[in-house]
Amino acid sequence: MPSADEVKTRIEAAIPGATADVESADEVHFSATVRASAFDGLSRVQQHRLVYDVFEGELGAAIHALALKTEVTT
């Protein structure tokens, strides 16, 4: 099972310029706020897709839930 730190590291590695705050009480349910310049010009759906793509196949499995909030940085 991934730790909150692992989830944070993977998001930041996969999305250029991203910083992520990730919390998890149980390493199954995660809550993340991700800030990235790469979100600029994208709809919320597209921003969330970028993050979900990092965990393809794991959402609903090892990662039961990832509550997500995205913010554009300049």
Contact set with another protein (CB under 8 A): 44-45, 48-49, 52, 56, 59-60, 65-69
Give least dist CB 31 to another protein, A.
9
Pick 9 or 31: Cβ nearer another protein: 31
Least Cβ distance, residue 2 to another protein (angstroms): 16
Give the CA distances from residue 73 to residues 30, 33, 35, 38, 64, in Å, rounded to whole numbers and listed in that order: 22, 12, 6, 8, 28
Whose Cβ is closer to another protein: residue 35's or residue 52's?
52
Neighbouring CB atoms inside 10 A of 30's CB total 23
- φ, ψ of residue 52 to 5 degrees: the values are -60, -35
